[in-house]
Homo-oligomer: A and B are copies of this chain.
Amino acid sequence: MLVQVAHDALLLALQHVLRAVSANNPIPILSGVRIHTNEDGIIMTASNTSLAIQYRIPLGDSSATVQKAGAIVVPGRYFYEIIRKLSVGPILLEAKERWFLTIESGKSQIRLCGMDPVEFPSFNHSLSPDPVRKLRLANGSFLKAVKQTAFAASTSETRPVITGVSLVFGNELLHLMATDGIRLAALTIPINGQATDISNVIIPANNLKEVAKMFSAEEGLIEIETGLRQIGFAMNNLQIHSALIEGAFPSVKNIIPQRCISQVVMEKSSLLHAVERACVLAGDNIIRLSVTPESVELTSKTAELGETEEEVQLQTLSGDKFIVSLNGKLLMDILRCIDKESIKISYSGSMSPIMILPVEDTSASLFLITPVRTASSFT
């Protein structure tokens, strides 16, 4: 392999794929980045057991030329550190005997010990031979959907299935859902295309966040392909594959309260700021909401430290006044990901989850949070 590539193009490619290179992978080849050439360009690939990322540096303009086709695997972080510190200008990469890569730029000459690319796991473009389902989605909708659901997934490995985000493909709709057992976030967005065999998958929430972060600067349509064991995301020069979590995602139908006692509509940002302040002195993060026709009062307390009292205006209250205690940090997460001005909070009794809905949201998002039962001294 002998290629010439512009410094900024190579650096950009490495910044993308490096997210799949773990610092101390027990499998040596996975600490590497595979470089190979084909008719489309110079392709960089990195992979760990859960996430694989491929970035293509296109040929054609002055940024990249292939003088001799080939492939090599180089140690990812060292290669990136070297490239990052080279000065701007063309870089010559040549694979030599016994998997050495020489890097030439200006008056710098580097010889880097590489590895045989045959040992590198293949990046399965088509996700075949699994049955495959494809759809295209406006990237903006995709990013919003991830932001509004992935945060609610569990971070504890005791129930692996809820560390993921559930995707259920309907005929014209895509349902996303995540939960950690105490709170739940669900969202439905319209899609084009019909259902196939593969009607639902669970993606590790951290991978989904990583995918959203990497595509956050792009505009246009993102292509999503699901197989039985993998899901793929592709747009422009970037392709990402994530492993799926096996298992059945808990059903939500029985959790959503069917009828409510009270509904209160209020400004989201006022409530969020009040919750943020109340959390500073909230022991175990527990804050109390006391809703009357006049206002919503938030209180929190930590013995030996102090207590807070906040009053937030409400827009409307239908039904009875109520008092509920809940985890303020979890409520904060929910409020932060809502991008509407007003929210509606539905109360269905002290044993039922609180339901929070953005007012006037066409994308049909829904958030639930289970109240905490507190000692009578506090309530």
Contact = CB atoms under 8 A, between A and B. Distances in A.
Contact of A309 (B78, B110, B308, B310): B110
A306 B276 CA distance: 51
Count this chain's copies in the assembly: 2
A280 interface: yes
A311 B113 CA distance: 21
A210 interface: no
Nearest to A301: B111
A254 interface: no
Interface string A84-103: 01110000000000001000
B280 A78 contact: yes
A33 to B, nearest CB: 14
Interface in A67-92: 75, 78, 81-82, 85-87
A327 B304 CA distance: 52
B276 A108 contact: no
A339 interface: no
Nearest to A295: B107
Contact of A276 (B85, B308, B312): B85
Nearest to A87: B273
Interface residues of A, number: 30
A310 B82 contact: no
Contact of A280 (B82, B87, B107, B111): B82
B86 A309 contact: no
Interface string A284-315: 00000000000000000000111111111000
A274 interface: yes
A113 B306 contact: yes
A112 interface: yes
Contacts of A112: 281, 305-306
A277 B108 contact: yes
A78 B305 contact: yes
A110 B312 CA distance: 15
Interface string A174-207: 0000000000000000000000000000000000
A364 B309 CA distance: 60
A109 interface: yes
A85 B281 contact: no
Contacts of A82: 277, 280-281, 308
Chain B CB within 10 A, most for which of A277, A304, A305? A277
Contact of A308 (B75, B87, B108, B277): B108
Given A108-B274, A108-B310, 19 more contacts: A75-B305, A78-B280, A78-B305, A81-B280, A82-B277, A85-B273, A86-B277, A100-B306, A107-B311, A107-B312, A108-B277, A109-B309, A110-B277, A111-B307, A111-B308, A112-B281, A113-B304, A113-B305, A113-B306
Interface of A: 75, 78, 81-82, 85-87, 100, 107-113, 273-274, 276-277, 280-281, 304-312
5 contacts: A78-B306, A82-B277, A85-B277, A108-B309, A110-B306
* Across the A-B interface, the 5 shortest Cβ-Cβ residue pairs: A112-B306, A107-B311, A109-B309, A85-B277, A81-B280
